[in-house]
Amino acid sequence: MTVTFAARWRDAVAARPGHPFLIWEGPDGSVTRWTYAEFDALADRVAGGLRARGVSYGSRVSLALRNSPAFVAIWLACAKLGAAMVPSDPSSTAPELAAHMRRTAAVLGVCAPDRAEVFRAAAAQSGVSVVEVSEADVTLDVLAGDPPPWKEPPPPEAPLGLMFTSGTTSAPKCVVVTQANYAFAGDVMAAASALRPDDRQLVVLPLFHANAQYYSFAPAIAMGASVTLMHTFSASGFLAQAARHEATHASLFAAPIRMILARGGTPVEGLRLVNCWYAQNLTDDQYDQISALLGCRPRQLYGMTETIPAVLTNRAVVPVPHAMGRPTLGCAVAVVSDTTGLPVEPGEIGEILVGGEPGTTLFAGYLDDPATTAACFRDGWFVTGDRGGVDADGNVYFAGRGGDVLKVAGENVSVVEIEAVLAGHPGVFEAAVVGEPDPVRDEVPVAYVVPRGDARLDDLAGWCAERLAKSKRPVRFEVVEALPRTSVGKIRKFLLKR
């Protein structure tokens, strides 16, 4: 029988009612704690408030909230009601928010007072009523109502999250994540991280993206463990927060790790971290430095909003820093040749495909877009659009997005390789490479480079000439203050192309 996220929550509350569930450190530094039973009562009250505002089974609730008790309570309330949350980046513009509301047919919107003007302007375009709740609010009285009488629980296929992809290579699509999907993510990621009931997750990444939901909250609930939630990420404060709240597990991206090294790289006593996930490559020096600071060797993983759990994870013992890992227990991954469709040999590059059952172990599809959904599957496998190589031990290495492989005068050129060479320059903080049309060579690489401090970068052409074949050398270097990113640090390359 397929399990629902609502059932996972109910089981955790029944098994560990007095165990800490959520430890919330607010913007002012104050700390509030709830046990599983206490937060369940809060979620029931919020469910009653949502129902009083017209939310019922199948309804959609638009959220524009940063990390907060309100976000977690609304998520669980929707799980209980059989409704779906539509989390949007709170910094989104009114047209972006309005598009999300229209596409999901939201019946209610929830935002913070300090961004209400933009959110209300978006809601007005779709006739959506709005509730304002402070992200520092720990009572949630403004959202509360009489707890509803619980009847039939929602089925596994009921949508619980309608999440817009981060749009790193194209305009966002709306991913349908079911009750069963969230339960599966929690079970798989708890096992992959060897999470125990007495462990504690530290969540600093934004809850309106999949990482914090799939890799931190869902596994904590699956195991009856606890979560410390921070309002925002602080590079200078991360290590002290982990020590102060006795966190044992965390999840980051490469960009936040680089920020910690640049701004908060001072050792802190009392750290208890035993596992830290991260996505996207670090240099050898960066990996060694962050390992020394955290007191554990971070484990790279790979996943997408559509794949639900991280389908590739590094092993706990002697992880391979530059690899995304091997197929996670319970997940099916294949790296296949472009020409034969067969698994690649070591040293070859191919497409990364993910197998599974839509709506259970894979996303249910793209909302109201069966054509796009069908186009993303081949012979029952989800085509990620990412490319990878496999070594003799079965480790999968990232080789770029499909759009990150350029055709330069007929040759395949990986922008990931060029970016790695640029990242090795002592004056480069980070770099991104995109393709630009060329009348002779079809496509050529162009580099966008962020300098390290006041470093001069006038020798980049020579640096690349010594390390890259002619077809791989950028034809132009654009020095920029920062690269356009999503809220979790992914580079939005399609904006560079514009």
379 and 424 assigned to the same domain: no
Task: For strands 129-132 and 108-111, give the pairing.
Answer: parallel
Structure tokens at 255: 């960009």
Q: Are 51 and 61 in contact (CB under 8 A)?
A: no
278, β-bridge pairs = 252, 300
Instruction: Look at residue 339 and tell me if it is in a domain.
Output: yes
- Residues 6+ positions from 152 with CB-CB distance below 8 Å: none
Q: Would you say the C-alpha torsion 323, 324, 330, 332 has a positive or negative sign?
A: negative
* pLDDT at residue 487 greater than cutoff 80: no
347 Cβ contact list (under 8 Å, min separation 6): 389
Reported as type and span, the H/E element at residue 40 is: helix 36-52
Assign residue 220 the CATH number of its domain.
Answer: 3.40.50.12780
Residue 438 has pLDDT above 90, yes or no: no
Q: 312 pLDDT band (50/70/90 cuts)?
A: very high
Question: In terms of C-beta density within 10 A (0-12 exposed, 13-18 middle, 19 or more buried), how is residue 299 classed?
Answer: buried
CATH label of the domain that carries residue 444: 3.30.300.30
Find out whether 205 and 212 touch, Cβ atoms under 8 Å. yes
Mean pLDDT of the residues in the chain: 93
Report the share of the chain in percent with pLDDT over 90. 81
- b/e sequence 114-146, b meaning 16+ C-beta within 10 Å: ebbebbbebbeebebebbbbbbbbbebeebbee
Of residues 287 and 441, more confidence is placed in 287
pLDDT of 402 > 80? The answer is: no
Residues 376 and 272 in one domain: yes
d(CA 132, CA 109) in angstroms, rounded, equals: 9
Q: How many CA atoms lie within 13 A of 53 on its CB side?
A: 25
| Domain region containing 298 | 5-390
In-domain check, residue 73: yes
Q: What is the pLDDT of residues 337-388, one digit of tens each?
A: 989 999 999 989 999 999 999 999 999 999 999 999 999 999 999 999 999 9
Number of separate domains in the chain:
2
pLDDT in tens, 212-248: 999 999 999 999 999 999 999 999 999 999 999 999 9
Section 298-309 average pLDDT:
97
Averaged pLDDT, 184-209: 97
* pTM: predicted TM-score of the whole model, two decimal places: 0.87
Whether 398 is in a domain gets the answer no
Same domain, 380 and 451: no
| Residue 410: per-residue pLDDT | 62
Q: Are residues 385 and 416 in the same domain?
A: no
Maximum C-alpha span of the chain: 71
DSSP percent split of the chain into helix, strand, coil, nearest 5:
30, 30, 40
Please give the Cα distance from 432 to 492 (Å, whole number): 10
The answer as to whether 396 is a domain residue is: no
Directed axis angle between helix 5-15 and helix 69-81, to 10°? Answer: 110
Whether residue 447 is found in the same domain as residue 366: no
Q: Give the rounded distance of the alpha carbon of 360 from its chain centre.
A: 19
User: 177: phi > 0 → left, psi -120 to 50 → alpha, else beta; which?
Assistant: beta
Residue (of 284, 297, 290) closest to 263 by Cα position: 290
Sign of CA dihedral 280, 64, 3, 7: positive
pLDDT of 252 over the 90 cut:
yes
Per-residue pLDDT, 468: 84
Mean pLDDT along residues 261-281: 91
What 8-state DSSP symbol labels residue 296?
S
User: Domain ends where: 363, 390, 417?
Assistant: 390
| Residue where a domain stops, chosen among 390, 417, 448 | 390
Token reading at 16: 């560990």
pLDDT tens readout for residues 52-109: 999 999 999 999 999 999 999 999 999 999 999 999 989 888 988 999 999 999 999 9
**442 and 307 share a domain?**
no
Whether residue 369 sits in one domain with residue 417: no
Q: With H, G, I as helix, E, B as strand and everything else as coil, classify residue 74.
A: helix
Asked if the model's pLDDT at residue 485 lies above 60, the reply is yes
At 166, the pLDDT band (50, 70, 90 cuts) reads low
| pLDDT at residue 249, as a whole number | 98
pLDDT at residue 112 greater than cutoff 70: yes
Residue 249's H or E segment, with its range, is strand 249-253
Task: Indicate if 292 and 376 belong to the same structural domain.
Answer: yes
User: Is the per-residue pLDDT at 167 higher than 70?
Assistant: no
Task: Give the tens place of pLDDT for each residue, 142-160.
Answer: 999 999 998 889 999 999 9
In this predicted structure, what is the pLDDT of residue 196? 98
pLDDT for residue 100: 94
Residue that finishes a domain, picked among 346, 363, 390: 390
Asked whether the beta carbons of 447 and 474 are under 8 A apart, the reply is yes
Model confidence at 261, in pLDDT bands (50, 70, 90)?
Answer: very high
Confidence of residue 118 (pLDDT cuts 50, 70, 90): very high
What is the model's pLDDT at position 171? 61
Within this chain, do residues 490 and 367 fall inside the same structural domain, yes or no? no
* Tokens, residue 114: 């300090």
Structure confidence at residue 179 as a pLDDT band (50, 70, 90): very high
Q: ∠ CA 147-149-154 to the nearest 5 degrees?
A: 105
Residue 321 lies in a domain: yes
Q: Is residue 397 part of a domain?
A: no
pLDDT tens-digit readout, 6-21? 999 999 999 999 999 9
| pLDDT tier, 2 (very low <50, low <70, confident <90, very high otherwise) | confident
13, two tokens: 């509350």
For residues 258 and 303, membership in a common domain is answered with: yes
Q: Are residues 192 and 248 in the same domain?
A: yes
Q: Is residue 401 part of a domain?
A: no
Query: Does 335 fall in a domain?
Result: yes
455-483 mean pLDDT? 91
Residue ranges of E strands in 168-309 = 174-178, 200-203, 226-230, 249-253, 275-279, 299-302
Q: Are residues 414 and 371 in the same domain?
A: no
